Amino acid sequence: MIIYKRALLTLCAAVTLLLAITIPAHTFASANSHPSHHRQAHTLHSLSTTPDGQHFVQATGIIQPIGVTTYMYGTHRLINQSGNTLYALRSRTLNLGQYIGKYVQITAMLVPGYPIDGGPSYLDVQTIAYILASSSPLRP
């Protein structure tokens, strides 16, 4: 099952990356396509469910350290061009610190039980891919 999930996540990440490069992000700006009220128009998000019921998200943005927040979860955050937090992040397998300040596309599992304390949805990042600067709607 783990191999199936990783293959599915890799395939979805590749498709999302392709879409991020070839289709303007505002095409996906539907308010119904994102589980969090922190959604902004110039980011690409998708929410999918694996056969065993786990939810995963694919999103683009800039990785930043979590800093001081009103919520107390995550080691990093994904922000949009305005600096608004889209998601709180953690990763059990990747060093998120090496992506600070970079425009990236992530694939991540939703951490159950969040958001809390007025914070954003909480993601466990599985894969990260750099997005080419020329295709980025964000200017870090």
| Alpha helix (H) residue ranges in 1-136 | 2-22
CB atoms under 10 Å from CB of 35, counted, come to 16
CB atoms under 10 Å from CB of 84, counted, come to 14
Let me know if residue 23 belongs to a domain. Answer: yes
Let me know if residue 140 belongs to a domain. Answer: no
What is the total count of domains within the chain? 1
Let me know if residue 101 belongs to a domain. Answer: yes
**Domain span holding position 27:** 2-135
Choice between 98 and 56, residue whose per-residue pLDDT is larger: 98
What integer pLDDT is reported at residue 45 of this predicted model?
A: 75
Let me know if residue 68 belongs to a domain. Answer: yes
Q: Is the pLDDT of residue 39 over 50?
A: no
